[in-house]
Amino acid sequence: MTAPETPLLRVVRGNPDDAELAALTAVVAAAASARAPEPAPKRDSWWADKASLVRAPLAPGEGAWRASALPR
């Protein structure tokens, strides 16, 4: 003989009607079937990152020529 199966949902308090149980079952089923968010793609290498080659625009003004040679 097999062991008796445990229920998936159990009402602990109150007396829900059929519509309330159906709504609860739908919510639990939707939450169980929801997909987890996909992880961000893994970066191959910081050395190969082309974004480091793009420079921010220079700000015009007093001393801008001096600031243009400073590393960012």
Q: What is the pLDDT of residues 12-63, one digit of tens each?
A: 999 999 999 999 999 988 888 877 788 887 777 877 778 777 877 767 888 7
Predicted local confidence at residue 4, as pLDDT: 77
In this prediction the pTM is 0.42
Which ranges constitute the DSSP H helices of 34-63? Answer: none
Predicted local confidence at residue 3, as pLDDT: 73
Q: Is the Cα dihedral 23, 29, 31, 37 positive or negative?
A: negative
Would you report the helix, strand and coil content of the chain in percent, each value rounded to 5? Answer: 35, 0, 65
Q: Which residues contact 46 (CB under 8 A, 6 or more apart)?
A: 52
**Residue 72 clears pLDDT 70, i.e. is over it:** no
Predicted local confidence at residue 71, as pLDDT: 66
**Residue 67 clears pLDDT 80, i.e. is over it:** no
